[in-house]
């Protein structure tokens, strides 16, 4: 281990500056239809019940409310309650604040990778790094989506929450470095997925304020939509008459005082539906808790009654592996999250950020939370404890450094999700099997090799200490508590082993309710009526370089499609 590098890292992370934002006027989010679930009636009726007010859920519900009554059940609170927490300078603090009711729920997969789940209206868009980039053409073709409708749905999202980033010193050198490393051509600023290096969109505006999927609710008809906050969905209800297909007809949810409420589908229109948009972890989990999933497993966990045996629920879980390289800089760097993507001809995407800030209290309370959760789920804690020593002594820091990362496309490696218990507020047990497949591993090696070229490029030299080798920077990563996996690298450096040992998540987890396995091409749950899944859990792979654009778009696109079906149905009913 190159301890000189570690010392250097400590020296350059001294508090560099405090991020100054401009004055904020809180106009967005003043929604009269947003109510704490403690004020919800015992029983209410709606045309559509959307479970999860996240990235897909907000876009979907806003759209459906144009012609139907809609209820959104969101387990978290409102991001408008604490607007500065979503400023770019608070990215790490908000993500790492995983205290019991915070917006970020700590989640650790069986692979020993630290992960997070959104628990707030707006979902992942409240926590994420903001990069906005559309899906590749082949993804759209394979999904069978209508081109023109897709285009219009992306534009609907972009008009409200997407900006062109201001590319400053570090990001600009990163672009030049990618070009020198051969990720060419430079395609300028574009939302499209094109080979080469590009600047993408961002949901942060020029003042560093985050815009989220919750802002898409500004499109909603306030008389037609209701959003219950702190409303944790517990179970989907079904009618199962004799040998008929089960049909969803309502949802039981719990408010912050632990009181149970029921929302039912209004029965005047047989097209009314319950729609799961609870994200890739909670959607398969809630299906299982409602009795839809692998029968023997559900029975073993005490789920009762079993509504439909489908062994594919929770299968096909994927999380794109991410490996970071931290590059301490002799020059000051701007605060930036992802603005630029390298899209090479191999299956790895290259992105970066600079000037991240962490408050020491939160870093420490985060790792206390990690150790508590590990004890709870009975994973060993010894290795994280030894890595944590590298964090002492604690400071409030703004790093004078950049991070470059490679994210494996796809991925091909797949895992599964199982219930730990019947509490929907607890994380299920999830295994992603990062780098189980050689092709994923090969892509990591190619991605890291490209990053090494960027670091060593002439154009990037300003942001790298001259005496520091790329190997030294890789050693630095091995010494940091970035995951709970054992380290195997000794004298002979093996990039494949490095990929496995330092794997992290880029939080693009998906699958669990995949098309063809759990849902059909219209995302209707197989074998069940009046129930769909619309969020990242339907994907077979991640769209584009980063998924949020396509997930918000999907909510809009499907909302439009469902409304069209509804209007057509009413027309034929009137004719007959
Ligand atoms: C730190 C981080 C960085 C990222 N960076 C980027 C990036 O730069 N660019 C990009 O494109 N993507 C990024 N992503 C990924 C992207 O944000 C997610 O893929 C996306 O937000 C997932 O959308 P979703 O609709 O599937 O789920 P979510 O947005 O998570 O929505 C699910 C919602 O359901 C709610 N819910 C769950 N269970 C229940 C229940 N039982 N009852 C009621 N409500 C429930 C949750 O609280 C949540 O609001 C990042 C994610 C994270 C966390
Ligand atoms: C950080 O922790 C210290 C001691 O535990 C406490 O005195 C201080 O107020 C905390 N700071 C913040 C910003 O929470
Ligand atoms: C709303 O419903 C009416 C009546 O069925 C239909 O004519 C109209 O096109 C629908 N509008 C939208 C936006 O779906
Ligand atoms: C559970 C686990 O991963 N334990 C590892 C901790 O680290 C030591 C060496 O550093 C390994 O030998 C253990 O396997």
Q: Which residue has the higher pLDDT, 387 or 215?
A: 215
Range of weakest confidence among 83-87, 419-423, 425-429, 476-480: 476-480
Q: Which of 514, 410, 537 is nearest to 138 (CA)?
A: 410
- Average pLDDT over all residues of the chain: 92
β-bridge mates for residue 340, sequence order? 199
Does ligand 3 come within 6 angstroms of the Cβ of 569? no
What share of the chain in percent tops pLDDT 90?
81
Domain assignment present for residue 575? The answer is: no
**Number of structural domains the chain divides into:** 1
* Residue 428 to residues 97, 110, 253, 424, 533, Cα–Cα distance (Å): 20, 10, 18, 8, 18
Domain contains 519: yes
Query: Tokens 């899944």 label which residue?
Result: 533
In a domain, 517, yes or no: yes
* SS3 annotation, 153-202: HHHHHHHHHCECCCCCHHHHHHHHHHHHCCCCCEEEECCCCCCEEEECEE
* pLDDT tier for residue 16 given thresholds of 50, 70 and 90: very low
- Reply yes or no on whether 508 is catalytic: yes
Q: What is the pTM of this model?
A: 0.94
Q: Is residue 180 a part of any domain in this protein?
A: yes
- Atom 2 of ligand 3, residue of closest alpha carbon: 567
> Is 574 inside a domain boundary?
no
- Mean pLDDT for the stretch of residues 487-510: 91
Q: Which ligand 4 atom lies nearest to the CA of residue 380? A: 1
Whether 436 maps to a domain, the answer reads: yes
Distance CA 96, CA 75 (A): 19
pLDDT of residue 337: 97
Task: Using pLDDT thresholds of 50, 70 and 90, give the confidence band for residue 24.
Answer: very low
pLDDT at 574 over 60: yes
Q: Residue range 302-315: average pLDDT?
A: 97
Q: Is 455 exposed, middle or buried (0-12, 13-18, 19+ CB in 10 A)?
A: buried
- H/E element, 454: helix 438-456
> Is the confidence at residue 5, as pLDDT, over 70?
no
Residue 383 has pLDDT above 80, yes or no: no
CB-neighbour burial class of residue 496 (10 A; exposed 0-12, middle 13-18, buried 19+): middle
547 labeled binding residue = yes
Nearest CA to ligand 3 atom 4: 567
Q: Is 576 within the bounds of a domain?
A: no
Residue 573 domain-assigned?
A: no
- Give SS3 for 487: coil
SS in 3 state form for 272-340? CEEEECCHHHHHHHHHHHCCEECHHHHHHCCCCCCCEECCCCCEEEECCEEEEEEEECCCCCCCECCCE
CATH code, domain with 94: 3.50.50.60
What 3-state DSSP class applies to 460? Answer: coil
The predicted pLDDT at position 392 comes to 61
- Give the span between the Cα atoms of 227 and 271, in whole angstroms: 21
Domain that holds residue 54: 3-568
Euclidean distance between CA atoms 364 and 395, whole angstroms? 10
> Picking from 105-119, 278-292, 381-395, which range would have the lowest pLDDT averaged per residue?
381-395
pLDDT score of 12 more than 70: no
State mean pLDDT over 331-351: 97
Q: Among the atoms of ligand 4, which is closest to the Cα of residue 484?
A: 3
**Residue to substitute in 567, 570, 574 for testing ligand 3 pocket (most ligand atoms within 8 angstroms of CB):** 567
């Amino acid at each position: 281990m190159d301890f000189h590098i570690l010392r250097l890292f400590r020296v350059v992370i001294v508090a560099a500056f405090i991020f100054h934002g401009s004055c904020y006027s809180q106009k967005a989010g003043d929604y009269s239809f947003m109510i704490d679930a403690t004020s919800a009636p015992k029983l209410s009726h709606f045309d559509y019940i959307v479970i999860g007010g996240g990235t897909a859920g907000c876009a979907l519900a806003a759209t459906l409310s144009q012609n139907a009554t809609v209820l959104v059940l969101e387990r978290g609170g409102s991001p408008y309650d604490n607007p500065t927490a979503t400023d770019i300078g608070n990215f790490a603090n908000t993500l790492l604040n995983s205290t019991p009711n915070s917006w970020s729920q700590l989640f650790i997969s069986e692979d020993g990778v630290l992960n997070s789940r959104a628990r707030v209206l707006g979902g992942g868009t409240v926590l994420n790094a903001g990069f906005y980039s559309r899906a590749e053409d082949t993804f759209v073709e394979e999904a069978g989506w209508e081109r023109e409708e897709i285009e219009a749905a992306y534009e609907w999202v972009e008009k409200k929450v997407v900006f062109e980033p201001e590319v400053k010193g570090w990001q600009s050198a990163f672009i030049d470095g990618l070009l020198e490393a051969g990720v060419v051509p430079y395609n300028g600023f574009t939302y499209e997925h094109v080979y080469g290096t590009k600047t993408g969109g961002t949901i942060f505006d020029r003042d560093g304020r985050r815009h989220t999927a919750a802002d898409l609710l500004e499109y909603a008809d306030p008389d037609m939509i209701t959003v219950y906050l702190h409303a944790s969905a517990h179970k989907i209800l079904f009618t199962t008459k004799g040998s008929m297909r089960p049909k969803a007809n309502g949802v039981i949810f719990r408010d912050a005082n632990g009181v149970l409420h029921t929302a039912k589908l209004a029965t005047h229109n047989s097209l009314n539906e319950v729609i799961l948009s609870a994200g890739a972890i909670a959607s398969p989990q809630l299906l299982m808790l409602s009795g839809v999933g692998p029968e023997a497993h559900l029975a073993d966990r005490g789920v009762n009654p079993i509504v439909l045996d489908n062994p594919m629920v929770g299968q096909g879980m994927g999380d794109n592996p991410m490996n970071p390289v931290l590059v301490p800089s002799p020059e000051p760097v701007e605060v930036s999250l992802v603005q630029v993507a390298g899209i090479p001809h191999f299956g790895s995407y290259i992105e970066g950020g600079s000037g991240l800030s962490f408050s020491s209290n939160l870093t420490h309370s985060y790792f206390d939370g990690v150790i508590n959760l590990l004890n709870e789920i009975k994973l060993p804690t010894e290795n994280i404890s030894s890595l944590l020593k590298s964090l002492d002594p604690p400071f409030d820091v703004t790093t004078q450094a950049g991070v470059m990362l490679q994210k494996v496309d796809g991925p091909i490696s797949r895992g599964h999700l199982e219930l730990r218990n019947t509490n929907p507020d607890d994380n299920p047990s999830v295994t992603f099997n990062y780098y189980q497949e050689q092709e994923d591993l090969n892509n990591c090696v190619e991605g890291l090799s490209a990053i090494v070229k960027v670091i060593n490029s002439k154009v990037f030299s300003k942001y790298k200490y001259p005496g520091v080798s790329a190997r030294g920077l890789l050693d630095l990563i091995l010494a940091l508590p970035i995951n709970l996996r054992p380290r195997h690298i000794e004298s002979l450096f093996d990039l494949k082993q490095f990929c496995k040992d330092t794997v992290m998540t880029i939080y693009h987890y998906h699958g669990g309710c995949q098309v063809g396995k759990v849902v059909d091409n219209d995302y209707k749950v197989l074998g069940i009526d009046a129930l769909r899944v619309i969020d990242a859990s339907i994907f077979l792979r991640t769209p584009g370089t980063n998924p949020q654009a396509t997930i918000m778009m999907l909510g809009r696109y499907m909302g439009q499609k469902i409304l069209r079906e509804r209007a057509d149905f009413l027309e034929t009913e009137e004719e007959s």
